[in-house]
Chains A and B, each alone.
Chain A
């Protein structure tokens, strides 16, 4: 099956630094990718939709200037957490849908655990 990779899998950084997370679809092209955030013992919540060739769309309450998304190619989307603070510590997961007709397959990356000290 299709594979989506994420890098890094784990990152620890100091407060105020920026962190970049990459999401790649390894064997299919994804014009759209999704970024989810999961706080401890909570569900996954959609943060933003990354669109190749256009601006990302953000969910209500997500600061677009803080969470920069760049869909650089049909296989790569990056999420940059700028000036990270401890409250940004979370598990970030990307996904890429592969649509074919009425089929909707969703492929998730393995996630990135961010800890901001």
Chain B
């Protein structure tokens, strides 16, 4: 069975601070994909990143960076110099190549950036 844990329910930071959102996953499959989505108040999911299990390279995209560590089954997301527009709920998700390929979502982390 697949499982994604986002232990941080809510985080508040002051603008320009850095913030890291944690994600820990569980799966017995050797080929899997990890995702991060942003969900603003409108509800629409905004895709941020997809990483497959064979690619442990960390990635940076502007103020966003991701740290994938298979040894600890973690896929953490860091926002540098946070901005008010970053306020949203962030979901980490997992899918496996075998089976239906649906996503298993974590419970989400609500990030509030205070001006």
A residues adjacent to B (C-beta < 8 A): 32, 34, 38, 42-46, 49, 57, 91, 93, 95, 97, 99, 102-106, 108, 110-111, 113
Contacts and interface: CB of A to CB of B under 8 A. Distances in A.
| Among A49, A95, A104, residue most surrounded by chain B Cβ atoms (within 10 Å) | A104
Interface in B85-103: 91, 95, 97, 100-103
Interface of B: 31, 33, 35, 37, 43-45, 47, 50, 52, 91, 95, 97, 100-108
A1 B48 CA distance: 13
Given A97-B95, A106-B101, A108-B45, 6 more contacts: A43-B108, A44-B105, A97-B102, A99-B101, A102-B52, A110-B44
A42 B107 CA distance: 7
Determine chain B's interface SS by DSSP, over half rule.
Answer: loop
Given A91-B43, A110-B44, A104 B106 contact: no
B55 to A, nearest CB: 11
B33 A104 contact: yes
A57 B52 CA distance: 26
Contacts, number: 58
Contacts of A44: 91, 103, 105
A43 B106 contact: yes
A32 B100 contact: yes
A97 B100 CA distance: 9
A105 B107 contact: no
A108 B45 CA distance: 7
B103 A113 contact: no
B68 to A, nearest CB: 16
A105 B50 CA distance: 8
B26 to A, nearest CB: 16
Contacts of B45: 93, 108, 111
Given A43-B91, A43-B108, A44-B91, A102 B102 contact: no
Contacts of A93: 43, 45
B91 A104 contact: no
A46 B102 contact: yes
